[in-house]
Amino acid sequence: MSRDLKTVRSLTQTAFSRAFRGLFVLFLLIAIAACSAPPADHPPGEPWDPYENTNRGFHSFNKGLDRAIVRPVAYTYSGIVGDEVEDSISRFSNNISMPRAIVNNVLQGNMKGATEDTYRFVVNSTIGLFGLFDVATDLNMPAATDADFGETLAVWGVREGAYVELPVFGPSTERDTVGMVVDLFLNPLDYWIRDPEEYYVFGTDVSATLTSRQRLGRTIDGVLYDSADSYAQARSLYLQNRRFEVGDSASGVYLDPYEDPNLILE
Amino acid sequence: MMFDAFNSSRRGFLGGVIGLGVVGLTPTKGWSLDEARSRALVDRVVNEINRVIASGKSEAAMIRDFERIFGRYADVSIIARSALGADSRRASNAQLRSFTQAFQGYVARKYGKQFRDFIGSQIEVQGVRRVKTWHEVDATVRLSGRAPFKVAFLVSDRSGRDLFFDLLIEGVSMRLSERTEIGSMLDANNGDIDRLISAVQRAG
């Protein structure tokens, strides 16, 4: 009886995981196809931003959220919790996301990155006490790749798509939004961390976010509250930095200003 | 704490020395004279910035020092014209001059304020590579308790001297970011260049 039950359970699990995988692939294909391309006459160097009106709406929502909640909470939190503790929590949160980067490196065919990240993860999880200490960096091991699925899609040749600003999550592109959703399922650790532990992990992610909001305070405040058009500035910064991370040189950094007819002095 | 370009990258240092010595003999091999010069420029900039940060002066005094460094080692004229973009075509020479002046002070104030966050940092020059008509000098900034990040100086002699015309931090170009910002400021002033100039004088 109990053996039958086991068989039934394992059969349902197989069927379920197959269906899930099918759905997942289908979602991915639809999402990739949905990454839009700018029309042929779109000026090069200009961001492809067909949803600008909606994006600007979300941008002011995000700014309000930062002003009312994230910024004050981040400063209060950092005022109460000591720097050492904050750093440890951020390192833990970072370390526990490493397996996802390893999976993405493998998907990108970057075996060197996958190996280096694996060494880093093993060292920090053991000698570094579950990632509370970053021993790997102290040992001068190669820097973490921080590979994510948006980058994997870029390596696979999926186009960037339009710029989007998401509520709460902020600047992104169509491709990176798909990447972000897929990344939710790509960390093998998530399949074995059950509650209540997974809430603790989520808690450390929140802590890490608050810490970086406070540490980068001056820079972020400058973009959000001091620039003439914070939406345009955030869009420009996000796209430049993201293209740098995924190794795409489309951002116009490499256009020669000395050859630009608009900039030549008479 | 201070800049240590030399022990970090022995290959680069030796390459620089050898490049200086043998460039006349083997111009295509190793480091060219241009590369060594570009690197020397960045070394001087980084040294001076480190000295200002370590001086412990007041913020206002530091910003004055940064403005002097920026004016001396950067091609402020091309960066300012890049920030104006196509609108620099319709600006008069006088407007262009006072815009460039205002822009130099604005950049010093805006970025000078952030240098305080870099106290105790180390900048290591990693290498130089040729891109189109200029050289890109790549460096890593290390700060305790934070992940290291990459900066790059783009150095060109097209102005007649070796000067940097852009600074990239993790791929974010100062020149392109300021083009966006100045463009937004110009829009906010209905495209009036004179009003833009006075806004830039106040900003940062």
Mean pLDDT of A69-81: 89
Write the pLDDT tens digit of every residue in A158-195: 999 999 999 999 999 999 999 999 998 888 888 877 77
Task: Choose the mutation target among B87, B96, B173, B190 for the interface with A, i.e. most A CBs under 10 Å.
Answer: B173
Nearest to A256 among B133, B146, B147 (CB): B133
The pLDDT of residue B15 is: 37
Other CB atoms within a 10 A radius of the CB of residue A168 amount to 9
Residue B24, pLDDT above cutoff 50: no
The pLDDT of residue B2 is: 37
The pLDDT of residue A178 is: 92
- Answer yes or no: are the C-beta atoms of B112 and B105 closer than 8 Å: no
- Answer yes or no: are the C-beta atoms of A66 and A209 closer than 8 Å: no
Average pLDDT, chain B: 81
Residue A78, pLDDT above cutoff 50: yes
The pLDDT of residue A27 is: 76
> Which residues neighbour B102 within 8 Å (Cβ) at sequence distance 6 or greater?
B197, B198, B200, B201
* Nearest-angstrom CA–CA distance, B119 and B121: 6
A218 at the B interface (CB within 8 A)?
yes
Beta carbons of B132 and A254 less than 8 Å apart: yes
B92 at the A interface (CB within 8 A)?
no
* Nearest-angstrom CA–CA distance, A13 and A40: 48
Nearest to A257 among B78, B171, B203 (CB): B78
Q: Detail the DSSP E strand segments found in chain B.
A: 122-131, 134-142, 149-156, 163-169, 172-173
| A-B contacts (CB, under 8 Å) | 93
Confidence of residue A6 (pLDDT cuts 50, 70, 90): low
- Answer yes or no: are the C-beta atoms of A167 and A61 closer than 8 Å: yes
- What letter represents residue B40's amino acid? A
Q: Compute CA A231 distance to the chain's CA centroid, rounded to the nearest angstrom.
A: 19
- What residue in A sits closest to B113 (Cα-Cα)? A218
Beta carbons of B114 and A218 less than 8 Å apart: yes
* Nearest-angstrom CA–CA distance, B119 and B1: 8
Asked whether the CA dihedral B104, B106, B111, B115 is positive or negative, the reply is positive
> What does the block give as tokens for A187?
């960390």
* Nearest-angstrom CA–CA distance, B91 and B197: 11
Write the pLDDT tens digit of every residue in B114-134: 777 777 777 888 889 888 889
Beta carbons of B113 and A218 less than 8 Å apart: yes
Which of B25 and A263 is assigned the larger pLDDT?
Answer: A263
Backbone φ and ψ of A255, nearest 5°:
-80, 135
A143 at the B interface (CB within 8 A)?
yes
* Nearest-angstrom CA–CA distance, B11 and B1: 22
Beta carbons of A229 and B177 less than 8 Å apart: no
Which of B171 and A198 is assigned the larger pLDDT?
Answer: B171
Write the pLDDT tens digit of every residue in B74-110: 999 999 999 998 898 999 999 999 999 999 999 999 8
* Nearest-angstrom CA–CA distance, A131 and A154: 29
- What residue in A sits closest to B180 (Cα-Cα)? A233
Write the pLDDT tens digit of every residue in A119-162: 999 999 999 898 899 888 888 888 899 999 999 999 998 999 99
3-class DSSP assignment, residue B116: helix
Overall residue count recorded for chain A in this entry: 266
Q: Å from A104 to nearest chain B CA?
A: 20
Beta carbons of A257 and B175 less than 8 Å apart: yes
Confidence of residue B197 (pLDDT cuts 50, 70, 90): very high
CA distances A108 to A105, A114, B202, Å, are 5, 9, 48
The pLDDT of residue B1 is: 34
Q: Å from B27 to nearest chain A CA?
A: 24
Q: Å from B198 to nearest chain A CA?
A: 14
Share of chain B above pLDDT 90, in %: 44
The pLDDT of residue B173 is: 92
Confidence of residue B190 (pLDDT cuts 50, 70, 90): very high
3-class DSSP assignment, residue A59: helix
Overall residue count recorded for chain B in this entry: 204
Write the pLDDT tens digit of every residue in B34-82: 788 888 888 888 888 888 878 878 888 989 999 999 999 999 999 999 9
* Nearest-angstrom CA–CA distance, A61 and A187: 30
* Nearest-angstrom CA–CA distance, B107 and B73: 14
The pLDDT of residue B144 is: 67
* Nearest-angstrom CA–CA distance, A235 and B177: 10
Residue that has been written with the tokens 């430049």 in this structure: A240
